[in-house]
Amino acid sequence: MRRIWLIGGTSDAKNLADILVAEGFSLLATVATPEGLSFWGERPGLEVRAGRLDEAAMEGLLAQEKFLAVVDGSHPYAQQVTACAREASRRAGVPFFRLGRAATPLPAGAKVFPTAALAAEFLANTSGKIFLTVGSKELEPFAALRGAGERLTVRILPALASLEKCFALGLGPANVIAMTGPFSQATNELQLKESGAAWLVTKDGGAAGGAPEKFAAAEALGVGLVVISRPLEGDEAVDAGRIVQSLKNITGGELTAPAREDVPEQKALVPLFFDLNDGFVLLAGGGPVAARRARALLSCGVRVLMVAPELCAASKQLSGRDGFTWCARQWQESDCHGATVVLAATDDPSINGRIVQTARRLGIPVNRADSRQGNDFVFPAVVRLGSDVAALSTSSLSPARTAKLAARLRAAWPQMCRDVPLGRPLRLASRESELAMAQSRLVAERLHEATGFDVEIIPFRTRGDAVADRRLESAGGKGLFVKELERAILSGQADLAVHSLKDMPSSCPDGLAFAALMDRQTAFDCLVLRPGLTGRPVRIGTSSARRIAQGRALFSDAQFVPLRGNLRTRLSKLDGGEFDALILAEAGLRRLGLQERVSRVFSPDQMIPSAGQGTLAVQCPFDGPVFDLVSQLDEPAVRTCCLAERAFIDRLNGGCTAPHGAYARVDGETIEMIGLYVRPDGKTLSGKISGPAADGPSLAAELADRLKRRGDGL
């Protein structure tokens, strides 16, 4: 088997393909768009396919076809592609290589920013025209600049999708140069002159991406240079020569390993599982390796103190996670004091050596990421399905062999777990409020009816329940209601949890998923009047910014007063005369048998609900026996609507506490949606969209973009 999967349509990938074909390898090259097919042309020993692949599609391809290795030759800025390909390869046990590209030296005075948004923010405070060569994916923040139509000239590939995006963002033909490179320094200078540019904005695509010619043109004309820095590729990025040699080694049998006499003697390791929840792990370093270590520890509920002057993109994504703290400076010896475990993962071997010496002197177990020898412990490959956990190691002597063994075990583990009965009831984590317990009992009964399993409900008092004296936004958001329940599942205390979907953040923690979205009897808001009230309500209780923004149009003469507490507490305050009326979710009242308290139900045209309102979300580990059991409760139509509603909120960069709203309904194969966008100044805009139900999330994103553009233009 000498078949290689090569990802990407870059000149670096094409050059590597020529070498590999000459060496006798056969290749499958995949590109995102049909335009990439013409880039590759026809080559013997090379098959080319077009189409965007997410992580699931990549895993499917690796399962269907046998590859010797995966080589990621995509653009250095294609972070999502690289992350998906790396993870899919890891799961399949197929060797993964990232084709690196040398960075370009920056001229003096260049302004460098890590993201397009920050670059645009800088340019917002400058004057002069801008020549933009960052590709169509990064256009939004620049198109949002004041006077973009007069300031911007955009150079993009002559692809229909790219041109349509420019026009959708308000950039007309006069703003666009649609050309295929490469571009010489002279061509860059000519276009800079013709556009009258004071600024050139580009990425560091290396020599293959024409960066040297662009940098030189800007320097020659005295044009300001703004560079969006390249994402850190990590230590796995290697040049074409090393990839070719590694692939040759693989075809000789297994991955090459040192001769037996060169294999370092490894001391015997005792396989143990430790509870580190009462201490913390000191992790020195902020690169990709440190990020992987931190994610593994955080998923087990361990507190992590990361010490590093800067963080890579993967480490930055950990910010805000429970248990994660970043100290932005170089490691100091005093950092080790009090740590349960120490991990040395900096990019400086001398610092890693000092960390090991310090930890040993303090009697703290230590692991050094840049060395396989002399560590007190190793990081195994972990196969986890709920509370069923297996750890695999080859004592650090062969990481490639560990990866292959883990891939095989992952494939077999779900069935192995299913074949062994749980031998106990399913444990369902629930908030202890009356409404949460009622919802949990409903799910427990349905689950027992569908599967025959008994279900034990374990009540938890969450942090959200404990801060009833403050607005949720100031206390940390609605996520406060769910984190304890998620930790209970991840730590093995519970098998599943029931949530109100409207209270859930936009994504689940690693390893968890919504196995069922169900029981959406009603998604609407309702008005509950104080008994005996005559006339219109003057004091209306609600802490929802979404309800207040829409309620003002319905009750222009009313005062909206903040209100927290469980449902019974709110009704008690209403009946005690503190309020004339409350605005509540109708579903909660119905689930407690209090539907007689409903005075008026608001239609979506009057008050657009919160995304996912009225829906129960049953969360559990994404793979394994519990997921298979719970997924029997899933209601496809409810899932279709809720995914579209949450996609609308995500597109507006909102979370479960954002004031925006969305409501979708499915009629046959068609989905209809109404969305609410609330501007920072409280003004509201709404709109509708419909189309194929299978396209719900993309339709939702289109509606969100439309409302955002309208709102920003007010």
Specify whether the CB–CB gap between 492 and 552 falls below 8 A. Answer: no
Q: What is the mean pLDDT of the chain?
A: 84
Give the 3-state secondary structure of 231-266: CCCCCCEECHHHHHHHHHHHHCCCCCCCCHHHCCCC
Specify whether the CB–CB gap between 58 and 85 falls below 8 A. Answer: yes
- For residue 262, the model assigns a pLDDT of 38
**Which of 180-184, 249-253, 446-450, 658-662 comes out lowest in average pLDDT?**
249-253
**pLDDT at residue 337 above 50?**
yes
Task: Compute the distance between CA of residue 380 and CA of residue 369 in angstroms, rounded to an integer.
Answer: 13
Q: In sequence order, what are the residues at sequence separation of 6 or more whose Cβ sits closer than 8 angstroms to the Cβ of residue 317?
A: 291
**Which residue from 381, 398, 92 is spatially nearest to 256, judged by alpha carbons?**
398
Total number of residues shown for the chain:
714
Task: Compute the distance between CA of residue 329 and CA of residue 85 in angstroms, rounded to an integer.
Answer: 32
pLDDT band at residue 251 under the 50/70/90 scheme? low
Instruction: For domain 635-713, give the CATH superfamily.
Output: Porphobilinogen deaminase, C-terminal domain (3.30.160.40)
Q: Which residues of 155-184 are buried (b: 16+ CB within 10 A; e: fewer)?
A: bbbebeebbebbeebebeeebbbeeebebe
Report the DSSP pairing between strands 684-692 and 670-678.
antiparallel
Task: Compute the distance between CA of residue 197 and CA of residue 132 in angstroms, rounded to an integer.
Answer: 9
Domains 3-101+236-251 and 111-228 share a fold: yes
Packing angle, helices 11-22 and 240-251, rounded to 10: 40
Q: Can you say whether residue 237 is alpha, beta or left, with left for phi > 0 and alpha for psi between -120 and 50 degrees?
A: beta
Cis-peptide, bond into residue 509, ω within 30° of zero: no
Name which residue leads in pLDDT, 625 or 55. Answer: 55
Q: Could you tell me where the beta strands, DSSP code E, fall in 148-292?
A: 152-156, 176-178, 197-203, 224-228, 237-238, 280-284
pTM summary value? 0.48
Kindly state the percentage of the chain with pLDDT values over 70: 87
Report the DSSP pairing between strands 46-50 and 26-31.
parallel
Q: What is the mean pLDDT of residues 582-610?
A: 95
Joined together, the tokens standing for residue 391 give 């750890």
Name which residue leads in pLDDT, 605 or 210. Answer: 605
User: Is residue 412 exposed (0-12), middle (13-18) or buried (19+ Cβ within 10 Å)?
Assistant: exposed
Q: Which residues are registered as beta bridge partners of 283?
A: 306, 343
Number of C-beta neighbours around residue 391 at 10 A: 15
**pLDDT at residue 88 above 90?**
no
Domain 280-379: give its CATH architecture.
3-Layer(aba) Sandwich (3.40)
Joined together, the tokens standing for residue 390 give 């297996």
Fold of domain 3-101+236-251? Rossmann fold (3.40.50)
- For residue 617, the model assigns a pLDDT of 95
pLDDT band at residue 491 under the 50/70/90 scheme? confident
**pLDDT at residue 255 above 50?**
no
Task: Compute the distance between CA of residue 702 and CA of residue 39 in angstroms, rounded to an integer.
Answer: 30
pLDDT band at residue 665 under the 50/70/90 scheme? very high
Q: Of 335, 503, 580, 623, which is the active-site residue?
A: 503
Task: Compute the distance between CA of residue 214 and CA of residue 189 in angstroms, rounded to an integer.
Answer: 8
Name which residue leads in pLDDT, 251 or 609. Answer: 609
Task: Compute the distance between CA of residue 411 and CA of residue 11 in angstroms, rounded to an integer.
Answer: 36
- For residue 477, the model assigns a pLDDT of 45
Q: Could you state, in order of their start, the residue ranges of all structural domains in the chain? A: 3-101+236-251, 111-228, 280-379, 525-601, 635-713
- For residue 127, the model assigns a pLDDT of 87
DSSP annotation of 481? G
Sheet holding 26-31, edge to edge: 46-50, 26-31, 3-7, 69-72, 96-99, 237-238
Cis-peptide, bond into residue 562, ω within 30° of zero: no
- For residue 482, the model assigns a pLDDT of 83
Task: Compute the distance between CA of residue 288 and CA of residue 86 in angstroms, rounded to an integer.
Answer: 12
Q: What is the mean pLDDT of residues 56-66?
A: 86
Task: Compute the distance between CA of residue 161 and CA of residue 169 in angstroms, rounded to an integer.
Answer: 12
- 265: helix, coil or strand? coil
CATH 3.40.50.720 fits 111-228, yes or no: yes
- For residue 481, the model assigns a pLDDT of 65
pLDDT band at residue 386 under the 50/70/90 scheme? low
Number of C-beta neighbours around residue 18 at 10 A: 14
Residue 469 amino acid letter: D
CA 427-630-317 angle, 5° bins: 85
Q: What is the mean pLDDT of residues 577-584?
A: 95
Q: Could you tell me where the beta strands, DSSP code E, fall in 360-420?
A: 366-368, 381-385, 388-392
Q: How far is CA 18 from CA 23, 41, 313, in A?
A: 9, 12, 32
Q: What is the mean pLDDT of residues 362-368?
A: 91
- For residue 464, the model assigns a pLDDT of 56
**pLDDT at residue 372 above 60?**
yes
CA pseudo-torsion sign 88, 292, 622, 499: negative
Task: Compute the distance between CA of residue 233 and CA of residue 621 in angstroms, rounded to an integer.
Answer: 30
Name which residue leads in pLDDT, 472 or 371. Answer: 371
Q: Which residues are registered as beta bridge partners of 687?
A: 675
- For residue 407, the model assigns a pLDDT of 79
**Which residue from 585, 549, 563 is spatially nearest to 676, judged by alpha carbons?**
549
Q: Which residues are registered as beta bridge partners of 282?
A: 305, 342
pLDDT in tens, 387-411: 678 888 876 666 667 777 887 887 7
Phi, psi at residue 379, to the nearest 5°?
-95, 115
- For residue 102, the model assigns a pLDDT of 65
Active site residue 580: no
- For residue 344, the model assigns a pLDDT of 93
Name which residue leads in pLDDT, 76 or 566. Answer: 566
Residue 339 amino acid letter: A
* DSSP conformation letters of 209-222: GTHHHHHHHHHHHT
Task: Compute the distance between CA of residue 17 and CA of residue 538 in angstroms, rounded to an integer.
Answer: 73
**pLDDT at residue 711 above 90?**
no
Distance of CA 39 to the CA centre of its chain: 31
**Which of 184-193, 203-212, 413-422, 695-704 comes out lowest in average pLDDT?**
413-422
- For residue 252, the model assigns a pLDDT of 56
Q: Which residues are registered as beta bridge partners of 171?
A: none
- 336: helix, coil or strand? helix
**pLDDT at residue 4 above 80?**
yes
pLDDT in tens, 225-248: 998 876 544 445 567 777 887 777
Report the DSSP pairing between strands 525-529 and 600-601.
antiparallel
Q: What is the mean pLDDT of residues 169-178?
A: 89
Instruction: For domain 525-601, give the CATH superfamily.
Output: Periplasmic binding protein-like II (3.40.190.10)
Joined together, the tokens standing for residue 247 give 């692939």
Specify whether the CB–CB gap between 244 and 19 falls below 8 A. Answer: yes
Specify whether the CB–CB gap between 633 and 518 falls below 8 A. Answer: yes
- For residue 342, the model assigns a pLDDT of 94
Q: Which run of H or E residues covers position 87? A: helix 79-92
Number of C-beta neighbours around residue 329 at 10 A: 10
Joined together, the tokens standing for residue 660 give 């925006």
